[in-house]
């Protein structure tokens, strides 16, 4: 069934890939983005684009009658969330509450929300299930967790069909859509900047973690597999329920393994230097995604790290006109 949907943050990395996949699947998409971190030319051609605040612009559109909202728009820099927390409580939490109120007012039935592994904080055990304790170690994770709680109560009280997807480490690219943050903090794009010559070397934040090679381990998930989960979430959302799913491949790769894979994919030497640990970084974050597989029928098709890095590299080179 074709749905009429609003995608907030559809000019950003994950939002643009999702918007593209929703359009491919035959849905009607309106992208709302204030372009604070997104790019107008990342909005897929077949989407209608409204530039504006995620809550305000969405509220004024909802009267047209929509089947659902996919809410990607958010602030997502962990370091900044600690130095300027108000930006995250206002920009993430307050915006989401206003969005929920507008959806309630207009009777919009479905919500898919971008939550994060950062809601769990330092895990007690690995891999992380949805039943694990949520003790975020930074304001970014805390803001997303607060929104998850708000969604639960709105879903129950107002019969909203809601799904939160807790992303682990998103990477890779899909066609014309990929990662291009002005302030880049993520490992794979930073390593690829060394391969393109835009950066001299990559820093390894800590080599004294209790892991095989001493560097931190993460679960890298291809952005296109992640987008597929959003389409499935829309189909499986149930009125009055808020379901939460972890999304990762269930395999961890260390910072050194990621750098080595980037060397193999790009053929560049990629100098690396050890630096102190980054504050608030857990040693290991790996997802148990059994719930998404069982309940949504989600099957990641691009779990191979070489493939993920390969797609990110192709996107990086195409953007540079190589």
Contacts of 249 (CB under 8 A, 6+ apart): 219, 220, 221, 287, 289, 300, 303
Q: Which residues in 173-233 belong to E strands, given as ranges?
A: 202-205, 217-218, 220-222
Closest to 44 in 3D by CA, of 225, 232, 176, 173: 176
Stretch that binds ligand UFG, among 48-56, 115-123, 234-242, 261-269 (CB under 6 A): 115-123
Task: Tell me which of 29, 187, 192, 231 binds ligand UFG, using CB under 6 A.
Answer: 187
Q: How far is the CB of 188 from ligand UFG (least distance, A)?
A: 7
Stretch that binds ligand UFG, among 41-49, 152-160, 183-191, 230-238 (CB under 6 A): 183-191
194 contacts 268 by C-beta, under 8 angstroms: yes
For residue 127, is the peptide bond before it cis, meaning its omega torsion is within 30 degrees of 0?
Answer: yes
Does position 117 interact with ligand UFG (CB under 6 A)? The reply is: yes
Does position 76 interact with ligand UFG (CB under 6 A)? The reply is: yes
233 contacts 163 by C-beta, under 8 angstroms: yes
Contacts of 180 (CB under 8 A, 6+ apart): 13, 39, 42, 189, 319
Does position 185 interact with ligand UFG (CB under 6 A)? The reply is: yes
Stretch that binds ligand UFG, among 111-119, 224-232, 296-304, 309-317 (CB under 6 A): 111-119
CB nearer to ligand UFG: give 62 or 70: 70
Burial readout 191-204 (b: 16 or more C-beta within 10 A, e: otherwise): bbbbbeeebeebeb
Task: Name the residue whose CB lies closest to ligand UFG.
Answer: 216
Does position 118 interact with ligand UFG (CB under 6 A)? The reply is: yes
Does position 94 interact with ligand UFG (CB under 6 A)? The reply is: no
256 contacts 204 by C-beta, under 8 angstroms: yes
CB nearer to ligand UFG: give 132 or 190: 190
Annotated active-site residue 13? The verdict is: no
Quick one: CA dihedral 208, 137, 11, 307, positive or negative? positive
Does position 246 interact with ligand UFG (CB under 6 A)? The reply is: no
User: Pick the catalytic residue: 13, 140, 154, 167?
Assistant: 140
Q: How far is the CB of 243 from ligand UFG (least distance, A)?
A: 19
CB nearer to ligand UFG: give 55 or 118: 118
**Pairing between β-strand 217-218 and β-strand 253-254 as defined by DSSP bridges:** antiparallel
Does position 158 interact with ligand UFG (CB under 6 A)? The reply is: no
113, β-bridge pairs: 71, 164
Contacts of 279 (CB under 8 A, 6+ apart): 79, 82
Task: Tell me which of 205, 260, 304, 317 binds ligand UFG, using CB under 6 A.
Answer: 205
Residues 248-287 that bind ligand UFG (CB under 6 A): 255, 278, 281, 285
Does position 5 interact with ligand UFG (CB under 6 A)? The reply is: no
**What is the set of active-site residues?**
140
Contact residues: ligand UFG, CB under 6 A: 76, 78, 116-118, 167-169, 185-187, 190, 202-205, 216, 218, 255, 278, 281, 285
């Amino acid at each position: 069934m074709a749905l009429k949907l609003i995608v907030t943050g559809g000019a950003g990395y994950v939002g643009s890939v999702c918007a593209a996949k929703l359009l491919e699947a035959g849905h009607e998409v309106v992208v709302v983005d204030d372009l604070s971190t997104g790019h107008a030319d990342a909005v897929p051609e077949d989407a209608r684009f409204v530039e504006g605040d995620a809550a305000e612009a969405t509220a004024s559109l909802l009267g047209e009658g929509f089947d659902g909202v996919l809410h990607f728009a958010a602030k997502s820099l962990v370091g900044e969330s600690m130095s300027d927390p108000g930006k995250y409580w206002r920009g993430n939490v307050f915006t989401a509450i206003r969005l929920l109120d507008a959806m309630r007012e207009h009777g919009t039935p479905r919500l898919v929300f971008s939550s994060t592994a950062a809601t769990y904080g330092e895990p007690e055990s690995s891999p992380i299930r949805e039943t694990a304790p949520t003790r975020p170690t930074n304001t970014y994770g805390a803001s997303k967790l607060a929104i998850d709680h708000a969604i639960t109560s709105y879903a129950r009280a107002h019969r909203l069909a809601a799904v939160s997807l807790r992303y682990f480490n998103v990477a890779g690219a899909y066609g014309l859509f990929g990662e291009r943050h002005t302030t880049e903090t993520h490992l794979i794009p930073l390593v690829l900047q060394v391969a393109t010559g835009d950066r001299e070397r990559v820093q390894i934040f800590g080599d004294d973690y209790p892991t095989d090679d001493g560097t931190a381990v993460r679960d890298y998930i291809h952005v296109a597999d992640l987008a597929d989960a959003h389409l499935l979430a829309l189909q499986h959302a149930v009125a009055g329920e808020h379901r939460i799913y972890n999304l990762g491949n269930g395999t961890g790769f260390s910072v050194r393994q990621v750098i080595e894979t980037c060397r193999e994919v790009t053929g560049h030497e990629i100098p690396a230097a050890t630096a102190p640990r980054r504050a608030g970084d857990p040693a290991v974050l790996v997802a148990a995604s059994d719930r998404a597989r069982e309940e949504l029928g989600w099957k990641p098709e691009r779990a191979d790290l070489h493939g993920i890095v390969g797609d990110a590299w192709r996107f990086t080179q195409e953007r540079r006109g190589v």
